[in-house]
Amino acid sequence: MAAREITIALSGNPNSGKTTIFNNLTGLHQHVGNYPGVTVEKKTGVVEYKGYRITVIDLPGTYSLTGYSQEEIIARNFVVNEKPDVVIDIVDSSNLERNLYLAIQLIELDTPLVLAFNMSDVAKKIGKIVDINLLSELLGLPVIETVGSRGVGKGEILEAAIDLAERGKRKKVEIKYGEEIENEIFNITSVLEREEIPTFNFSRRWVAVKLLEQDAEIINLIKKADVQKYKKIEDTVNSSISRITSILRDTPEVIIADARYGFIKGALLESYKEVEPAKLDRTERIDRILTNRVFGIPIFLLIMWLMFQLVFSLGKYPVGWLELGFEKLSGLVTNVVHHDLMRSLLVDGVIGGVGGVITFTPNIIMLFFAIAVLEDSGYMARAAFVMDRIMHKIGLHGKSFIPLVIGFGCTVPAYMGSRILENKQDRLVTMHINTFMSCGARLPVYVLFAGAFFPAMAGNVIFSIYLVGVLMAVIMAKVLRATRFRGESEPFVMELPAYRMPTIKGVLIHTWERVWEYIKKAGTVILAISILMWLLFTFPMIGDNYSQDYEAQFEENELLYQSGEITFDEYSSEKSNIEAKMAGESLAYSAAGRVGHFLEPVFRPLGFDWKMAVATVAGIAAKEVIVSTMGTLYSIEDTESQSDSLQTALNKNYTPLVGYNFMLFTLLYFPCLAAMAVFRKEAGTKEMLFQMGYTLLLAWTVSFLVFQVGRFFV
């Protein structure tokens, strides 16, 4: 017998435990995607139950369906357009009145609804007793009790969903908004009917209510469909609104909200008892410390420091093991594959590129583990609260601080971490300035250059580069806020949920989702980019077009050694010297080298020569590559052990001003292609191109000014 298919959607307030229920229902059979055209996550899962194949969709957590935010519109449109067989509204049992507000709006939409009173154990413990049979009767829909954290009620949810899907809705409940509002609803619906104005799968009554509430989404829909018809209804709605405002001395959206709460209060009057008054006892006590006026920020900074330590200090061990593993793999491939070009592609291109990204995985795992713990425990909201005043001054949200700190380690997880910002504008500005938080991959470049030009005070010079980065981030945040991302900033109202012990299952699932996405990225986009970069650095091949006859030099070296005129050490040093010269020439001959030469005029005003230009281009692949590229270009074979000689070479060829300027340029232009691939995934192609364009422009401008002005002083 083929399984019957049922679709259920989970809705609920933020912090109602919806995600826990979703995880209970679907386990690891989840798929995370995005709703079309927006960056809101869409989680889907499948569960088999009693011969039914049930698809579960996790709708975004919202307080209402007013169309205030993207999430609300998505939830509303999904319920109306996709017509799931059943909607399960997850309700926090210890806070019924507030949570049922969303349920009322789902009832208004006439959805087949089941209420899951979650965390019912906590509610009972604090003396909140609800007669669910009576309430179910009053609301005309099934109500079940669940305890998400212990998996209680999973079967009941599925039973109720199947039952409702098979038998259809029991009865229709209509919410009345009071005489004045009802009169105007009647007026508006009759105009809607008479003028045959489209209502897009919604009922006329519902559209009338939304028009009174001045729901921007609905107004736009009608306008788009037919401007003439909208004008007709607009007059009716406006006079209705002014009648209501003058009689009831408040605007319709407030009166309607009040009526919804009134309906809830009425239903709860008989079915709900509070044995003792509600207290936010434990949460209140913890908050007195964590959000303390004096200690709040130090505690937050301490937690950030611990997180940073976890991600990077502890993470460096598994990262080291992975690096070793990839090294071994390279060695193995080198021995097995004999075709030169093929070997170079596999070792330098694929393993070098993809491996370089995969090695960061432990950092990513620990970062998202830490974020999941902070979020699930309820601390994240406090962090935003504590930091909001400071971040506000530069036009950012309190939570922006977290990805910015992570940016000092690696920009890739920092971009991903920006997801904790719900507001798109806040998220984008945070991502756009994150590149100035100097990541770990840039440090080797600073160490090389600072050591070459300012050996006595290398530490201070490097620190100054970091400071310039932070300063630039502050300036650019202000600039971006005042220009491209003006307006539409989220006014600050945020729930501070009760503290809760995070469940292991929940934290692990959240971590795994993010990490899997990262690994998938490494296997696809990063692989393609790595191969592309390899092609650019390998072709066209130099063949016999060397400027000197290196073969002859090799032979001469060989002869000298065999005749005993030079020692083995001298022989091998000369041999690697010749090899390095060849590598330098073939790099200069390759497409990347030519690009460097081609770009030289652009970099000239900054004091950079073609070698620096090539290194900058190579740095697009990953910033630490700049060091090895400079090494190759200056014909120093092993950059690790002979970094001294590279520093001597740099010192001979450039002035300290140019050296410092090059560090600045490295700091300011976008981090690397892996980061850009992630940026594109998070924010779209347009934003990624903007990021690349503006950071390059900024890097060039700053370096130009520093060099041109600095020339007169040094």
DSSP one-letter string for 352-375: HHHHHHHTTHHHHHHHHHHHHHHH
Smallest distance from the beta carbon of 16 to another protein, in angstroms?
11
Number of residues that bind another protein (CB under 8 A): 50
Q: Report the residue from 5, 182, 250, 551 that binds another protein according to the rule CB under 8 A.
A: 250
Task: Give the residue among 365, 363, 353 at the shortest CA–CA distance from 326.
Answer: 353
Residue with smaller CB distance to another protein, 209 or 617? 209
Binding mask 393-432 for another protein (x = CB under 8 A): x-x-------------------------------------
Residue with smaller CB distance to another protein, 248 or 443? 248
Structure tokens at 230: 């909208």
Question: Among 59-67, 455-463, 580-588, 651-659, which window interacts with another protein (CB under 8 A)?
Answer: 59-67
Q: At what angle do helices 656-668 and 458-482 cross, to 10 degrees?
A: 40
Smallest distance from the beta carbon of 393 to another protein, in angstroms?
8
Question: Among 139-147, 443-451, 494-502, 529-537, which window interacts with another protein (CB under 8 A)?
Answer: 494-502
Residue type, 331: G
Q: Identify residues 324-343 at the interface with another protein (CB under 8 A).
A: none
Question: Among 90-98, 585-593, 597-605, 613-621, which window interacts with another protein (CB under 8 A)?
Answer: 90-98
Residue with smaller CB distance to another protein, 377 or 655? 377
Give all strands of the β-sheet with 4-12 in edge-to-edge order. 30-34, 41-49, 52-58, 4-12, 86-92, 113-118, 143-145
List, in order, residues 6 or more apart from 301 with CB less than 8 Å away.
none
**How many angstroms separate the CA atoms of 145 and 92, rounded?**
10
Residue type, 349: G
Residue 484 makes contact with another protein by CB under 8 A: no
The C-alpha torsion from 703 through 708 and 712 to 714, rounded to 10°, is 30
Question: Among 163-171, 451-459, 492-500, 659-667, which window interacts with another protein (CB under 8 A)?
Answer: 492-500
Structure tokens at 181: 């509002």
Residue with smaller CB distance to another protein, 428 or 578? 428
Q: Report the residue from 95, 464, 553, 642 that binds another protein according to the rule CB under 8 A.
A: 95
**How many angstroms separate the CA atoms of 35 and 44, rounded?**
11
Asked whether 441 and 407 are in contact (CB, 8 A), the reply is: no
Binding mask 258-297 for another protein (x = CB under 8 A): x--x----------------x-x--xx--xx--x-x----
DSSP conformation class of 14: T
Residue 251 makes contact with another protein by CB under 8 A: yes
Residue 574 makes contact with another protein by CB under 8 A: no
Residue 377 makes contact with another protein by CB under 8 A: no
Q: Report the residue from 55, 64, 503, 655 that binds another protein according to the rule CB under 8 A.
A: 64
**Residue 662: C-alpha distances to residues 601, 603, 623, 669, 704 (Å):** 16, 10, 12, 11, 11
Asked whether 208 and 233 are in contact (CB, 8 A), the reply is: no
**How many angstroms separate the CA atoms of 496 and 381, rounded?**
6
Compute the chain's Rg from CA coordinates: 32
Residue 496 makes contact with another protein by CB under 8 A: yes
Structure tokens at 503: 């469940």
Question: Among 142-150, 386-394, 410-418, 603-611, which window interacts with another protein (CB under 8 A)?
Answer: 386-394
Q: Report the residue from 2, 269, 456, 493 that binds another protein according to the rule CB under 8 A.
A: 493
Q: Report the residue from 28, 129, 216, 471 that binds another protein according to the rule CB under 8 A.
A: 216
**How many angstroms separate the CA atoms of 360 and 412, rounded?**
9
Residue with smaller CB distance to another protein, 393 or 604? 393
Residue with smaller CB distance to another protein, 385 or 670? 385
Residue 77 makes contact with another protein by CB under 8 A: no
Q: Are strands 4-12 and 52-58 parallel, antiparallel or unpaired?
A: parallel
**How many angstroms separate the CA atoms of 116 and 556, rounded?**
85
Smallest distance from the beta carbon of 23 to another protein, in angstroms?
23
**How many angstroms separate the CA atoms of 704 and 335, rounded?**
47
Question: Among 32-40, 383-391, 567-575, 673-681, which window interacts with another protein (CB under 8 A)?
Answer: 383-391
DSSP conformation class of 426: H
Residue 491 makes contact with another protein by CB under 8 A: yes
**How many angstroms separate the CA atoms of 639 and 65, rounded?**
60
Q: Report the residue from 227, 254, 332, 714 that binds another protein according to the rule CB under 8 A.
A: 254
Its sign, for the CA torsion 151, 152, 154, 155, is positive
Question: Among 111-119, 254-262, 308-316, 606-614, which window interacts with another protein (CB under 8 A)?
Answer: 254-262
Smallest distance from the beta carbon of 493 to another protein, in angstroms?
5
**How many angstroms separate the CA atoms of 297 and 480, rounded?**
26
Query: Where on the chain is the footprint of another protein (CB under 8 A)?
Result: 63-64, 66, 68, 94-95, 97-98, 101-102, 213-216, 245, 250-251, 253-254, 257-258, 261, 278, 280, 283-284, 287-288, 291, 293, 381, 384-385, 388-389, 392-393, 395, 481, 487-489, 491-498
